[in-house]
Structure 1
Amino acid sequence: MTRYVLTVDAGPRDLRAADHLLHTLATELALDGGVFGCTHLVRGDRPRVSVSLALPTEAAAATVRGQLADRGYEPADGAPDPVGRAVLYPGADALRGTMTVAEVLSVSAIDRVTVLGAAERPAPDARLVTRDHVRPQWHDGELVLTAMPAVGGTLVPFEVPDPTPCCADH
């Protein structure tokens, strides 16, 4: 399916702020569940996180472009890179609690689940403890969730909901 992508470089310096921006935009712009909202790390002189919105039609993109401009943003066409970290995607709100890998794949836009360090994909009945924070990434046109082994033979998404900031104990 062709998507029309707009990028907003509003300057958040961390993923949490960028996630918040995406959720705020989704609410303020009344974006439906078919929109993909991703974060992208921008390196260079001024490291930051930009966000992209992938919309299903050119008309939807034009409408959102106008709404963003009305709010003071300067949307650009296209994504800054092909490996965005998805925050908004179809089925994201359904990924709560503990689910099987098969359930995750059936209720969301996630195409594949991989396990860090494992050569094979997890079994469809493997249990994933979502921690209500599931952030897959785009890889070669597929939305892929990377998980890691956890207590009791379960899996958890690789990205933790509340990471400890670097040097927090200094």
Structure 2
Amino acid sequence: MTPRAHAHAPSPVLTVDADLRDLRSADRLLHRLAAGLELPEGTFGCTHLVRGQRPRVVVSLSLPSEPHLRTVRERLRADGHGEPAAGLPDASGRAVLYPGASALTGTMTVAELIAASAISGVTVLGAPGPPDPGTRVVTRDHVRPQWQGDALVLAATPARGGVLVPFESPDPTPCCADH
């Protein structure tokens, strides 16, 4: 269960551009793909923001082997997802599917979160260093770490009661919702 499998190791990667406009839709697509394609253990599924003339969110799947890649590519084509591109759109994906993600529920310590998943570290916004391994993290059942170089790192913020919460909220308020 090595995070390097997605960012920089030679594991096979596919990128799917379903012309999505937001992270929530991309998360749902990755979960549908995981269920429908029966993705193997060790798969990483990430979202990537694409800027430019046509801003959108694309998803990548990093698979444990070349035979898995061929099978997933064929199933994606058969399911109407077009021709997936080879490789990553960038190296800073936001992980939705990763080893241990389903175990990150409720409240756990930083050490437990790292031991249970492919996440290799936690950073606290505004803090000079990493949190104590015994610090409790209220996951809100929504843990979306980001690739930083070869490491999958969860950004967290302090919350009431001396606990941490993932920086990304499971139910964000849309910007300018009242306009």
TM-score normalised by L of structure 2: 0.93
Given the alignment, which residue of 124, 129, 133 partners 2:142? Answer: 133
By how many angstroms is 1:55 displaced? Answer: 0.2
Q: SS of the residue aligned with 1:118?
A: coil
What is the CA–CA distance in structure 1 between the aligned matches of 2:126 and 2:70, rounded to whole Å? Answer: 42
Q: Matched residue pairs, number?
A: 170
Q: SS of the residue aligned with 2:46?
A: strand
1:79 aligned to 2:88?
Answer: yes
**Are the equivalent residues in 1 in contact too, given 2:157–2:166 (CA < 8 A)?**
yes
Q: For the aligned residues, what is the CA RMSD?
A: 0.8
Q: SS of the residue aligned with 2:137?
A: strand
What is the CA–CA distance in structure 2 between the aligned matches of 1:98 and 1:82, rounded to whole Å? Answer: 29
1:99 aligned to 2:99?
Answer: no
By how many angstroms is 1:70 displaced? Answer: 1.0
Given the alignment, which residue of 130, 149, 155 partners 2:164? Answer: 155
Q: SS of the residue aligned with 2:27?
A: helix
By how many angstroms is 1:119 displaced? Answer: 1.3
1:4 aligned to 2:12?
Answer: yes
Aligned match of 2:122: 113
Tell me which stretches of 4 or more aligned residues in structure 1 moved more than 6 Å: none
Q: SS of the residue aligned with 2:157?
A: strand
Identity score, percent: 66
Give 5+ residue unaligned stretches, structure 2.
none
What is the CA–CA distance in structure 1 between the aligned matches of 2:149 and 2:44, rounded to whole Å? Answer: 16
By how many angstroms is 1:33 displaced? Answer: 3.3
Q: SS of the residue aligned with 1:60?
A: helix
**Are the equivalent residues in 2 in contact too, given 1:33–1:91 (CA < 8 A)?**
no
1:35 aligned to 2:62?
Answer: no
**Are the equivalent residues in 2 in contact too, given 1:95–1:104 (CA < 8 A)?**
yes
1:70 aligned to 2:108?
Answer: no
1:53 aligned to 2:81?
Answer: no
What aligned pairs does 1:15-26 form with structure 2 within 5 A after superposition? Answer: 15-26=23-34
Give 5+ residue unaligned stretches, structure 1.
none
By how many angstroms is 1:32 displaced? Answer: 2.7
Q: SS of the residue aligned with 1:168?
A: coil
Q: Could you report, residue by residue, the CA deviation over 1:13-32 in whole angstroms, capped at 9, with x for unpaired residues? A: 00000000000000010113
